[in-house]
Amino acid sequence: MYEQVRALIEREKILDPKRAVLVGVSGGPDSLAMMDILNRMGFQLVVAHLNHGLRSEAEADARDVQRMAEARGLPIIVEKEDVEGYASMHGLAIEEAARIVRYQFLFRQAAENNAQAVVVGHTADDQVETVVMHLLRGCGLAGLKGMLVRALPNNWSRDIPLVRPILACWREDVLVYCKQHKLQPLLDSSNLDVTYFRNRLRHELIPYLEEYNPAIKQILWRMSQVLTGDHQVLESVIEKVWKICVISQGSGYVILDTNPFKKHPIGVQRGLFRKAINLLRPGLRDVDFNCIERAMAFLLSPTQTGQIDLIAGLCLFIENGQLILADWEADLPLRDWPQVVDEKPAILEIPGKTGLSDDWLIITELVSDLDSARIQAMENDDPFQAWISMDCVQKPFQVRSRQPGDRIQPLGMDGHSVKLSEYMINVKIPRRAREGWPLVTTGEEIVWAPGIALSHPYRLTASTRQAIFIQLSRIGNG
Amino acid sequence: MYEQVRALIEREKILDPKRAVLVGVSGGPDSLAMMDILNRMGFQLVVAHLNHGLRSEAEADARDVQRMAEARGLPIIVEKEDVEGYASMHGLAIEEAARIVRYQFLFRQAAENNAQAVVVGHTADDQVETVVMHLLRGCGLAGLKGMLVRALPNNWSRDIPLVRPILACWREDVLVYCKQHKLQPLLDSSNLDVTYFRNRLRHELIPYLEEYNPAIKQILWRMSQVLTGDHQVLESVIEKVWKICVISQGSGYVILDTNPFKKHPIGVQRGLFRKAINLLRPGLRDVDFNCIERAMAFLLSPTQTGQIDLIAGLCLFIENGQLILADWEADLPLRDWPQVVDEKPAILEIPGKTGLSDDWLIITELVSDLDSARIQAMENDDPFQAWISMDCVQKPFQVRSRQPGDRIQPLGMDGHSVKLSEYMINVKIPRRAREGWPLVTTGEEIVWAPGIALSHPYRLTASTRQAIFIQLSRIGNG
């Protein structure tokens, strides 16, 4: 086992002999044998032991681990945490809470001790159990590949890796090593408690599977090895495509270009969605099949509202060929949509230019002495341009954003008035753009909502004599 | 279920309504419901039923299926095969023999009836069972992804696909469909026989796994869906790299360029080996982890003999930076190595040219009246050129390939003689090139083995007066 671990560390270059290593030691055979081997190999170890406060022997165990470390002249940190309290506070299963509290402790200590890595004693048996657990819960390649010998788990630390040097060693060989080197591992009675899911796998399910194939553990371990390689290839493809597709990403949002996105095979598309979710929700563990398939279906045919709630407070929507995954509250870039910056209404310059923001302005021209022939010849198909009759206008034109109670009588609806807020949804104005959308008003009335509707009373008729030509323009686009 | 199948067929465009479809019908609920649905959809069906000759009811079943097809006005082919005989003849399990005989029958009939596809009634339950079976036997992504809705299984046919239109339907829904449409499926008593591995999975293992997660079937089915996409991405990466790496491929061999091969990640390298093996042994089902890992290890550090037996009569070796996978008996291209074609020795022309094959010849020049100054000034670093002293030569020079018992006294080894066959291994002449390697001889003695050694007695010394300059040349390279 010593040789196997040494060869792995050298071949994969997973640990630097010149820098400290934080080694998590429960005192059980796995972590004890691992500590012994790394110590013999000459690594600078800092031992860390967490008392989970769950078992009566826990205090004694902590003292025993301390003694084992000190016998080797190794520095040791022992801490105690209230795992049960953490579990009930966060509504977690005890196993899950213990896992979180333990890793938080190990990575905190690694940072404080300037260690190059956190090292833990997962064995090949643990790997098989992990794979089976993922299989039962449902997973893709990322779950089936199991644990990595060296991983940078970004939910614990940005720069300290988690290293598992005995991941290729079977528990059987660990016990032989302990015996040969006269190590006296602690017994963890909770390892036999089959109310814990993992223990049930270990003591019941895996032995049952061995009746179907006695080599099942070797088979699943090898499968995880092969799939680790396959997963790496898939991830590198997704990474390349991601770089092509990503338009921008910021606090709480990711914007991707749908065109290159859709050109790639379904496996890559799923991977891009997984990556986007993972970027915004790095700790999220249960990004399941349904979530990704809903995203895929939405991409193929967006819903009527133009958006869906995807997962964990993230919504997905499409705007102008851009696929956006964002927090509900994300501060998305709004340059693509006309927006009024000032809270107070601005006077509309007639004729002239009225700036709305750094990006948008309204331009007006005044046209007098119209006659019905001229009016009939006028054409306009651009919803961001309009002819507005000035004949009946009493009050000055203003530009403002919407207010509660705003209504409009869209042209062609025979003067029937509708709620502006609902009408904006009907004409698919993106939710995040609605609040600041510019409106041209006179008094309390909306005259023109650019891109949405001209108000019926302000349309040109055969008798109109004075009018303005108005257009909303992007600065720089003329 | 009808709607689900119709939607799948239309979305994936898996069947052309204008061309005949060969549908395999056992008479069980799955194939019966499928036949009914495809018939309602208006496909041109040709029904095929194989009597496996395994059960007492088989004859009656065949008549029933015939009746069901004829009731719908569908043409039907019934054949009987001796599966037990086939199994014992080929040393196969009954299940495996039945599978082979059945597919051979279906694809043969599809070809004879000019059908666009063979259609079979695998359900979502079958998919889950297949995935579990692969998991238990050990597999990679290709096995975990399960069966495909549309596959071109090159061991049955080069151009007729195998289609599974009800692969997303659960057996439960199939039974509901049969009831609703008053179909009367046959009962296959062997489906309950748990001595068959698949039945054991269906009736024992999967229900057991449901105790761990009642949704296990849905989970494994979805996993197969996701992995199908991932597998497709991986295969397309491997396909691209393959095109870069492949130097040549022919009957019984594949030659790859090791340099680009080694530059790719391990997952791609494994895939290239799998692809190479699959090309040479298309029917081979058990290309396991060990086989691929041995190939990977060999690539990293080739064995002393320079080759390994890989699997199923294929050997793997490296020559001149080329990675070769070949049958032992493969007719590999030998143009890269000098070879003598004639079995009889040829007289060496001095001076002149002696052809060895279409690709190689030996050129000699005679040089007389040498003196020590001229000899000292001579230089030659090319192992395929030599200066040979003619002063003591009694018999004419010949060119031939090696013979049992050949020995040589390599220059610089003080006249110590070695076995030519062993010396060829030491200087890394590729195994397949050794047999026909050209040797220049006089009488029984080897004078020069081009690229290997000049014989010590024939070296130039200060007293040499007459010599030849000899070179082995590739025709076309001057």
pLDDT tens-digit readout, A47-58: 999 988 777 788
pLDDT, position A32? 94
CB contact under 8 A, B140 and A226: yes
CB contact under 8 A, A233 and B144: no
Q: Which of B140, B200, B230 sits opposite A234 (nearest CB)?
A: B230
- Please give the mean pLDDT across all residues of chain B: 88
Residues of B in contact with A292 (CB under 8 A): 226
pLDDT, position B64? 92
pLDDT, position B333? 61
Residue A68 pLDDT more than 50? yes
Residue B434 pLDDT more than 80? yes
- Please give the mean pLDDT across all residues of chain A: 88
First to last CA, chain B: 73
Q: Which of A32, A35, A8, A4 is nearest to A179 (CA)?
A: A32
Is-contact A54 A190, C-beta < 8 A?
A: yes
CB contact under 8 A, B270 and A226: yes
Measured between alpha carbons, how far is B82 from A149 in angstroms, rounded to an integer?
Answer: 52
Instruction: Name the packing angle between helices A266-280 and A216-245 (round to 10°).
Output: 80
Q: Which of A311, A272, A275, A271 is nearest to A291 (CA)?
A: A311
Q: Which of B417, B408, B402 is nearest to B446 (CA)?
A: B408
pLDDT, position B420? 92
CB contact under 8 A, A212 and B223: no
Q: Work out the pLDDT band at B32, boundaries 50, 70, 90.
A: very high
Q: Does B263 touch chain A (CB under 8 A)?
A: no
Residues of B in contact with A219 (CB under 8 A): 135-138
Measured between alpha carbons, how far is A111 from A156 in angstroms, rounded to an integer?
Answer: 11
Report phi then psi at A135, rounded to 5: -60, -45
**Interface confidence (ipTM) of the complex:** 0.72
Q: Does B138 touch chain A (CB under 8 A)?
A: yes
Measured between alpha carbons, how far is B252 from B282 in angstroms, rounded to an integer?
Answer: 12
Is-contact A342 A357, C-beta < 8 A?
A: no
Q: Percent of chain B at pLDDT above 90?
A: 49
Which of B210, B212, B294 should we substitute to test contact with A (largest number of A Cβ atoms within 10 Å)?
B212
pLDDT, position A157? 83
Measured between alpha carbons, how far is B244 from A235 in angstroms, rounded to an integer?
Answer: 21
**Mean pLDDT, to the nearest integer, of B293-318?**
83
**Mean pLDDT, to the nearest integer, of B105-132?**
95
Residues of A in contact with B292 (CB under 8 A): 226
Residue A333 pLDDT more than 70? no
**B230: nearest CA in chain A?**
A267
Pairing between β-strand B76-80 and β-strand B21-24 as defined by DSSP bridges: unpaired
Q: Which of A203-217, B256-270, B309-323 has the lowest mean pLDDT?
A: B309-323
pLDDT, position A332? 63
Residue B56 pLDDT more than 70? yes
Find residue B454's DSSP bridge partners: B448
Q: Which residues of A252-279 are buried (b: 16+ CB within 10 A; e: fewer)?
A: bbbbbebeebeebbebbbbbbbbbbbee
**A209: nearest CA in chain B?**
B136
Q: Could you please report the per-residue DSSP string of A241-289?
A: HHHHHEEEEETTEEEEEHHHHHHS-HHHHHHHHHHHHHHH-TT-----H
Measured between alpha carbons, how far is A196 from A214 in angstroms, rounded to an integer?
Answer: 24
What tokens appear for B333 in the block?
Answer: 């291209």
pLDDT, position B381? 75
Is-contact B107 B160, C-beta < 8 A?
A: yes
Q: Does B135 touch chain A (CB under 8 A)?
A: yes
CA-angle at A168, arms to A164 and A174, nearest 5°: 90
- 3-state SS record for A181-213: CCCCCCCCHHHHCCCCHHHHHHHHHHHHHHHHC
